[in-house]
Structure 1
Amino acid sequence: MSSRAERNRLVEANLPLVGYLAADTHARATHIPREELAAVGALALVTAADAYDPALGVPFGAYARRRILGAFADEMRSMDWASRGIRKRIKETVAVRDTLTAALGRTATVSEVATAMGSPREAVSEALADAARTVSTIDDPAARDLVADVRLPEESALVGERREVLEHAIAALPERMRRIVLAVYIEERPVKEIAEELGVTHSAVSQQRSEAVRLLRDALDRYFAEGTVEPVASTRISPAARDAYFGRIAEAAGARIGEVFRTAAPA
């Protein structure tokens, strides 16, 4: 971007896009917390503004949308609850149900599907329940026409302060997590390529990226917590490691931000 002010303007103007896409994706992927999607999307929006080149002739809203949805897709892949075997069972069960439904002229019952498949009723019922929560594609054409210049007050409030906290939180991540976050969200590199460079598995990179996002979310939750109630941690690292992370943010940030995180740092 030509200036930090212009980058900030783009982030502020398109913040409602994050809220919309997070809500829309969560409606079809209810197993992923909306707050986690929002945190992933906010990070993708900031990094999109940093990397955006107006000379490409692509509107920033469209460019940011692609980056945000890509970040959501990575998050869903890293949290995928269904193995290949489960997905195969879901596909077969739904196919039998749909075939019976077409033949009978009404929705087939669980017992009828179970009989046709020669499977226990409980297994069929579980497969159909899993099918109901299977994630559909997030690249929904309906979202392409979203107008991102409608400001939602509850989403745009304190955006500058959130961005400042987020920048310090990213800088304070453990080295490998920070490298992965920058590679995924800034450089847009494939996870496979990052894994090969680091000498780890694809799964390990995805896990580290997800843990980094949880740490960033914890940092934002810590800073914007209301009252004296300690926010519930979403990260899976030990409390001591989490406090050390907060301590690094406190050391690097100014007095206003640092004071909040010093109260969480080890005595």
Structure 2
Amino acid sequence: MATMSNLTPEEIASSWEAYLKQGQADARDRLIRHYLYLVRYAVSRMLVQLPTHLDSDDLIGYGLLGLIQSVEKFDPERKVRFETYAMTRIRGAILDELRAMDWMPRSLRRKAREVEKAIHRIENRTGKPAQEEDLALELGIELKQLHQILNDTSYLVVSLDYLLSAGSHLKNWEESLPDTRASSDPTREIDRQAMQEALQEALRSLPEREQKLVSLYYFEGLTMKEIGQVLELTEARICQIHAQAVHRLKARMHDLLLI
């Protein structure tokens, strides 16, 4: 796959105008070729958290479908940058295919759910964020074993992209919300609004360090290694904290929405 095309800003603008106003197919194709780099970028970030047997070319193919949908459904009147809007649909298309493949081992799903249930119990009981020591005690394991579970389930946190597609209060995320204004299903829109409100509440309740990590990774585009430098922690430790943040979010979403 090629990287970003050599279109100038003027050529990009004229291509959008030709496609949006005149429906020119060649303009659409130019835009898709130009923005192919977004697909490769999304895949490269997601592969870090996915098992090695998944093929990057397959993921790129799934992401390309999301890019095509992004170009075809983009509405510039929403005053949203196309790149931000497209990244949500690209990641969503990849995740849809991964869910359809049922690629997660059952044992891994079980471990992740046990962690989420333990977080749920602790935080309902204490009214405070569950600390790692409390979580290990609740699970009846050593802290080292908890860290291993977080490592083992770290690639499950890619599912946070799916949760975040419902929206959040953090910087720049509302720009990338999928456009549901034209939806003919009012029940679906109500469900989406409930999901958005629950996620906002869950994100606000994260411990400061976890909220900072989520912001740096999902909204500012830093890698785990770069976040480690910012927070003065090892990359491995950042991955553990990241996994715990997502387990915590999913536990709270379950509590708020009974999902």
TM-score computed with the length of structure 1 as normaliser: 0.38
- Bigger radius of gyration, 1 or 2? 1
TM-score computed with the length of structure 2 as normaliser: 0.39
